[in-house]
Amino acid sequence: MATIPDGWHSYTTCGTISTKNTNKGEKMAMLLKKMSKTLFLLLFLSIFFSPAPAFSQEKPIARLAGFSGTVLISNLGSWEVKPAKDLLLYSMDKVVTRIGNATIIFNDGATVEIKSNSNLLIQEREKKKGFITVIERRILLFLGKLNFRTGKSKVETRFETTKAVIGIRGTAGILSIGADGMTYIHFTEGGAKYILGDFVRGIAKDVRVELADQDPVQRATFVAKAAVDQVKRTAKKVADGEMPEAQLALAKAISKETAAMEVLTYAEAMLISPDEKTLEWARQQIAKAKETIQQAKEDQKTAIKNGADPAFKGFTPDNPGFDVPTDKKIQS
């Protein structure tokens, strides 16, 4: 059943035309006149009182202006996309770095420079406030550090971590998360409109890559990306006749599950947020993710019944089904 977002209204006009009255032309003219007024009213209401759906993914909200090193992108819900200069980014996209950096420029000119070992999600929506259209932007940082500068237009921007919510406008600064999970905020220009939750004024020390790799959200990201790699390599083996079709179906089902697990992991991390709206959003994400995971598990069972090998024996340690996004030189 479709859900109608708050603020949307539906209107129905109905009328009857009597065929018993001999003066049909006069009554039809009166009816059309009434309908024209009603249609004008409906048009007026639809323009001024109907906000856009929350966090729409229909149009890009930013672009990847530059990057270096290991950068993973979840673009429109898929981890298959490779980072590229000027790659368009949408609401609910994620940008994850390891030994690398990335810069995002939003449509209003706002910039976010993402440092190494960071994991964040971007959201944006338009909503009506009377006769004015307002853009609401959320940037959720789960791990790492970023430099930010707001744009020229009037955008309501809020940064969020698991422990704090910071509303900003017309400011620049650094948002970071320490090894202890504490949120740090430092402003180089302006200040905060409001801050909820626990935070420290200052800049957190960089978290070593070995520790960052153990973060649950970061690990879930790596697993989701690895599953995408496995789908691609399994598809090639199926095309070469080295694996049955069912093996590709299994790989896709596993990828579906790991992608949903990544969402589940970061949504559960937000359950300690000090903001009630964020908590409600996190609960909705968790419910959707669990439903997807259950369906993916059923798909895996079906693929195995059809002949897929759950051990993926067609791959070897020297030729695995995925690329783990880590640097072997720093592994112990």
The predicted pLDDT at position 2 comes to 34
pTM of the model: 0.79
For residue 90, the tally of other CB atoms under 10 A from its CB is 19
pLDDT at 145 over 80: yes
Q: Could you tell me the two tokens for 245?
A: 């079709």
pLDDT at 203 over 50: yes
List beta partners, residue 121. 94, 140
Distance CA 180, CA 52 (A): 39
Give the contacts of 70 (CB within 8 A, at least 6 positions apart): 97, 98, 99, 100, 325, 327
pLDDT at 323 over 90: no
Express each pLDDT in 212-221 by its tens digit.
999 999 999 9
Note whether 295 and 236 are within 8 A (CB): no
pLDDT bucket at 138, cuts 50 / 70 / 90: very high
pLDDT at 119 over 80: yes
Alpha-carbon distances of 295 from 254, 302, 330, rounded to whole Å = 11, 11, 38
- Comparing 20-29, 161-170, 320-329, which segment has the lowest mean pLDDT? 20-29
Report the relative pairing of strands 200-201 and 183-189 from DSSP bridges: parallel
- How does the average pLDDT of the chain come out, rounded? 83
Note whether 120 and 215 are within 8 A (CB): no
Express each pLDDT in 219-272 by its tens digit.
999 999 999 999 999 999 999 999 999 999 999 999 999 999 999 999 999 999
Express each pLDDT in 66-115 by its tens digit.
999 999 999 999 999 999 999 999 999 999 999 999 999 999 999 999 99
Mean pLDDT for the stretch of residues 1-6: 33
The predicted pLDDT at position 320 comes to 63
Distance CA 121, CA 243 (A): 36
- Comparing 5-9, 103-107, 151-155, 234-238, which segment has the lowest mean pLDDT? 5-9
The predicted pLDDT at position 212 comes to 95
The predicted pLDDT at position 152 comes to 78
The predicted pLDDT at position 69 comes to 96
Mean pLDDT for the stretch of residues 140-150: 97
Alpha-carbon distances of 208 from 177, 286, 312, rounded to whole Å = 12, 29, 33
pLDDT bucket at 318, cuts 50 / 70 / 90: low
